[in-house]
């Protein structure tokens, strides 16, 4: 009878000195199984056939005692010689039909897939599970294609969900306790989630394999705490009351913000945070992320004047806040203007999970892979209709599973399911430096006091843009210089003095 493995925590071994060092493979496997490893693959690229068979037999004695299946990487002959439960084969190894003929119907045969076509072929040929990767770049295996990232995994799962919905899948490549929860969240479809996680270095380099495996199992099986809430709000729902309440909560609670932003917008950003009632700390110090996250801060990452010297602080902050289950906002300023910015944003998105991405049309279009006319950091003009903009923003929200704010004459805010257009603000906001960056700060401030990032984003846009409208009604405001102080003054009282009704229009994504 064919075993039905539990794929939750899949250990793939590696015997190279760089990973195993002088530790004992059998001891690690035994301890990791006690910690929750549910399936093991013996992967050894260098040993001779005789040594492979001997080690595989020793490992098999250990795995069998716990009822854990042992698979052999690449080598069907070794699996046959020592009676393993199955094999894992890659795209350059023995083909699946031949492996099946040699091993028989009860063997577990897993196949690597890094594209939709590879996944569908393996599924049609009767693979028992797929190893989907490489998810993130990893030093353990460097001869791989471009990392799939969660959006690439979702494309594969989406293709499988129609014809092969129950085929088990494990994700592999660059995964660890810190990035597993959000990777699983961002990789999952409403109807289809990966069955488990496969890892090499996270377990094999650990000096405490039992504790590491059990922490990994918890990371895999615990729902992602920063997941977006499912909406129960119908189209046409009025957010006004919730926004007023949120504004009060923000002013009462004075949430702690860690603002890692550009040198141009820094003073205005700090002033806006204070005027909204938040408590900001402006820090680019890599070592400060962990204590600030532990102190309960919400993070804003704004890449406006990012340099190679400051990039590590951004990456550490993204990873630290995400693994501490603290929320962050990403403002990918000028994305698309240079390859360096594109690489930095890709690295930030690989390092952590933003609950909200806020950008202008060109920045969001670049993230969506749509034509983007970004040159400087300003928004420029566009020919796109509101529905086209909403479709682009929703694509990014869907891929990243976060809320996206696309600023413009009408702001589009979407979580991929709900989308609204906001009609507020004043052209004067485009004539001062840092108003867009200040909006990122406001989103972070509202995010700190709201369970719902979608609502937080709407509130932030309305308050900043409403305050701009209010400021422009003051007699003494005659240009950008007199506008800024009045705008800041208006932030604290906009909710009382400005009528926000009728500013939010639903965009029915289904109807587009
Ligand atoms: C579970 C799992 N998934 C993918 C792989 C990668 O296999 P392959 O592409 O054959 O690469 P090598 O492991 O042979 O380097 C895997 N081993 N396990
Ligand atoms: C075998 C393999 N296949 C794709 S990535 C990879 C290595 C994964 O190693 P790690 O878990 O250390 O990133």
Q: Which of 402, 437, 461, 490 is catalytic?
A: 437
User: Do 57 and 80 contact (CB within 8 A), yes or no?
Assistant: no
Write out the two tokens for 196.
């488990």
Mutate to test the pocket of ligand 1, among 70, 131, 167, 198 (most ligand atoms within 8 A of CB): 131
pLDDT of 384: 87
Q: Give, using CA atoms, the residue closest to atom 18 of ligand 1.
A: 131
How many angstroms is it from 483 CA to the middle of ligand 2? 55
Write out the two tokens for 187.
């990789």
175 lines ligand 2 (CB under 6 A): yes
pLDDT of 80: 97
pLDDT of 374: 62
Instruction: Starting from the CA of residue 90, give the closest ligand.
Output: 1
Cis bond before residue 462 (omega within 30° of 0): no
Instruction: Starting from the CA of residue 111, give the closest ligand.
Output: 1
Q: Which residues contact 32 (CB under 8 A, 6 or more apart)?
A: 11, 203, 209, 210, 212, 213
CA distances from 451 to 400, 445, 454 (A): 18, 12, 9
Q: Give, using CA atoms, the residue closest to atom 9 of ligand 2.
A: 200
pLDDT of 237: 82
How many angstroms is it from 388 CA to the middle of ligand 1? 40
User: Do 321 and 289 contact (CB within 8 A), yes or no?
Assistant: yes
Domains and CATH numbers, the chain: 9-221 (3.20.20.70), 240-460+504-511 (3.40.1190.20)
Residue with the two structure tokens 């042992």: 70
Residue 54: closest CA among 82, 96, 27, 30: 82
pLDDT of 510: 67
How many angstroms is it from 399 CA to the middle of ligand 1? 25
Instruction: Provide the edge-to-edge strand list for the sheet that holds 411-414.
Output: 279-282, 256-260, 298-302, 328-331, 356-360, 403-407, 411-414, 419-422, 504-506
Give pTM, 2 decimals: 0.90
pLDDT of 512: 54
How many angstroms is it from 360 CA to the middle of ligand 2? 36
pLDDT of 297: 98
Instruction: Starting from the CA of residue 137, give the closest ligand.
Output: 2
pLDDT of 239: 86
CA distances from 261 to 211, 270, 394 (A): 37, 10, 25
Assess whether 461 carries a catalytic annotation: no
Angle between helices 209-221 and 25-35 (to 10 degrees): 40
DSSP letters, 338-358, are -HHHHHHHHHHHHH---SEEE
Give me the count of residues in the chain.
512
How many angstroms is it from 172 CA to the middle of ligand 1? 8
Q: Give, using CA atoms, the residue closest to atom 8 of ligand 1.
A: 90
Question: What residues line ligand 1, using a CB cutoff of 6 Å?
Answer: 10, 12, 41, 43, 73-74, 88, 90, 93, 110, 112, 131, 133, 141, 170, 172, 198
Q: Give, using CA atoms, the residue closest to atom 7 of ligand 1.
A: 90
Q: Which atom of ligand 2 is nearest to the CA of 201?
A: 12
- Count Cβ atoms within 10 A of the Cβ of residue 208 and give its class: 0-12 exposed, 13-18 middle, 19 or more buried: exposed
pLDDT of 378: 55
Q: Which residues of 171-200 are buried (b: 16+ CB within 10 A; e: fewer)?
A: bbbbbbbbbbbbbbbbbbeeebebbbbbbb
Write out the two tokens for 12.
């793939």
Tens-binned pLDDT, residue by residue, of the chain (512 aa): 888 999 999 999 999 999 998 899 999 999 999 999 999 999 999 999 999 999 999 999 999 999 999 999 999 999 999 999 999 999 998 999 999 999 999 999 999 999 999 999 999 999 999 999 899 999 999 888 889 999 999 999 999 998 999 999 999 999 999 999 999 999 999 888 999 999 999 999 999 999 999 999 999 999 999 999 877 777 778 888 999 999 999 999 999 999 999 999 999 999 999 999 999 999 999 999 999 999 999 999 999 999 999 999 999 999 999 999 999 999 999 998 999 999 999 999 989 999 999 999 999 999 998 877 665 555 556 788 899 999 999 999 999 999 999 999 899 999 998 899 999 999 999 999 999 999 999 999 999 999 999 999 999 999 999 999 999 999 999 999 999 999 999 999 998 888 888 899 888 776 55
Write out the two tokens for 94.
């023995």
């Amino acid at each position: 009878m064919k075993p039905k493995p539990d794929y939750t925590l899949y250990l793939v071994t590696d015997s190279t000195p760089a990973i195993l060092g002088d530790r004992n493979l059998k001891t690690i496997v035994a301890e990791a199984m006690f910690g929750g490893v549910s399936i093991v693959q013996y992967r050894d690229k260098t040993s001779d056939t005789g040594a492979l068979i001997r080690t595989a037999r020793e490992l098999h004695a250990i795995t069998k005692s716990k009822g854990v299946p042992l698979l052999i990487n690449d080598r069907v002959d070794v699996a046959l010689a020592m009676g393993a439960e199955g094999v894992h084969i890659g795209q350059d190894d023995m083909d699946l039909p031949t492996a099946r003929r040699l091993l028989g119907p009860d063997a577990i045969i897993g196949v690597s897939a890094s594209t939709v076509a590879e996944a569908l072929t393996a599924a049609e040929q009767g693979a028992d599970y797929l190893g989907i990767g490489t998810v993130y770049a990893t030093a353990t295996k460097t001869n791989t294609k471009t990392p799939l990232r969660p959006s690439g995994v979702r494309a594969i799962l989406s293709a499988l969900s129609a014809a092969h919905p129950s085929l088990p899948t494990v994700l592999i490549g660059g995964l660890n306790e810190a990035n597993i929860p959000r990777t699983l969240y961002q990789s999952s479809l409403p109807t289809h989630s990966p069955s488990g996680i496969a890892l090499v270095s996270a377990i094999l380099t650990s000096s405490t394999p039992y504790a590491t495996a059990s922490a990994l199992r918890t990371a895999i099986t615990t729902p992602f705490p920063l997941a977006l809430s499912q909406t129960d709000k119908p189209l046409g729902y009025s957010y006004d009351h919730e926004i007023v309440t949120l504004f009060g909560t923000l002013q009462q609670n004075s949430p702690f913000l860690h603002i890692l932003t550009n040198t141009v917008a820094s003073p205005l950003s700090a002033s806006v945070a204070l005027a909204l009632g938040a408590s900001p700390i402006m820090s680019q110090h890599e070592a400060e992320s962990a204590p600030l996250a532990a102190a309960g801060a919400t993070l804003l990452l704004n890449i406006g004047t990012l340099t190679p010297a400051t990039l590590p602080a951004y990456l550490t902050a993204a990873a630290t806040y995400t693994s501490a289950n603290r929320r962050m906002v990403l403002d990918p300023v000028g994305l698309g203007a240079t390859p360096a910015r594109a690489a930095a944003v890709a690295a930030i998105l690989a390092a952590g999970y933003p609950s909200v991405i806020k950008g202008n049309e060109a920045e969001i279009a670049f993230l969506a892979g749509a034509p983007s006319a970004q040159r400087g950091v300003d928004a420029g003009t566009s020919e796109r209709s509101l529905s086209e903009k909403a479709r682009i923003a929703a694509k990014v929200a869907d891929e990243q599973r976060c809320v996206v704010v696309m600023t413009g004459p009408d702001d589009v805010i979407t979580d991929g399911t709900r989308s609204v257009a906001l009609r507020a603000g004043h052209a004067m906001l485009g004539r001062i430096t840092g108003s867009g960056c200040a909006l990122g700060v406001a989103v972070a401030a509202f995010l700190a006091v709201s369970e719902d990032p979608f609502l937080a984003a709407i509130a932030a846009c309305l308050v900043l843009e409403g305050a701009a409208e209010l400021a422009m009604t003051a007699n003494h405001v005659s240009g950008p210089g007199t506008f800024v102080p009045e705008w800041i003054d208006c932030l604290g009282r906009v909710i009382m003095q400005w009528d926000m009704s009728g500013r939010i229009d639903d965009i029915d994504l289904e109807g587009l």
